Structure 1
Amino acid sequence: MAVDKSALFRPRCPEQDVELPGVGTVRVRGLTRAEVLEIGKGVNDGKSMEPYSLSLAMVDPQLTEDEVRQWVRVATFGELEQLNHVINELSGIAGRADKEAYKSPPE
């Protein structure tokens, strides 16, 4: 069966609710291949890309990079680690070493 070409161009990153103990529920989505590649460029240049990647993945509430930086200053390590794990799973890069996943996205 031939694919409808327009289906290739529709956003389709999976989303998931994540419960943050003591805070509430947030909704995140997987990152697109283009986003992972862009994050990888920053990682390769020695930049911390966590605020950028979380700002892309946050669906509800939507956060800017600056808002994520504010959150990082008060959140526990485990809280953000849990979110990053879910985002990596949804993006299809879970199970790869974190930095390596962004250097060489899956084919």
Structure 2
Amino acid sequence: MDKSALFQPRCPEADVELPGVGTVRVRGLTRAQIIDIAKGTNDGKDMEPLSLSWAFVDPQLTEDEVRQWTQAATFGEVETINKVVNELSGIAGRADKEAYKSLPDESGS
């Protein structure tokens, strides 16, 4: 095995159709990104914009652009994207905040 392969990004990606908008491409988040999100501030208010800014591949969105999008999008549209990202990240089936909280901090606790 080539050890360098361990350090190459390999998050799965998927296309998601947003009715009336078009197709976007998103990817799963790395474990490190999920841990960073779990450490979020503002009682989790920044968790979604941060995670989705990392997850959007095409188009790429900043945190502020994600906030703009969520102001215009339906709840179901955002939930669809979140569901796909959680599935690609390997945390599907768990309540989002609880999945993030269950991860140990960097000290391993």
The TM-score with structure 1 as length reference comes to 0.91
Residue 18 of structure 1 is aligned with which of 13, 16, 19?
A: 16
| Equivalent residue, structure 2, for 1:80 | 78
Superposition CA RMSD, Å: 1.4
**Residues of 2 paired with 1:40 and 1:59: CA distance?**
21
List structure 1 runs of 4+ shifted beyond 2 angstroms: none
**Residues of 1 paired with 2:17 and 2:6: CA distance?**
31
Uncovered stretches (5+) of structure 1, i.e. residues with no partner? none
Deviation at 1:24, TM superposition (A): 0.3
Query: Percent sequence identity over matched residues?
Result: 76
Q: In the TM superposition, what are the counterparts of 1:39-50 in structure 2 within 5 Å?
A: 39-42=37-40, 46-48=43-45, 49-50=47-48
Q: In the TM superposition, what are the counterparts of 1:1-107 in structure 2 within 5 Å?
A: 3-42=1-40, 46-48=43-45, 49-105=47-103
**Residues of 1 paired with 2:100 and 2:56: CA distance?**
18
The TM-score with structure 2 as length reference comes to 0.90
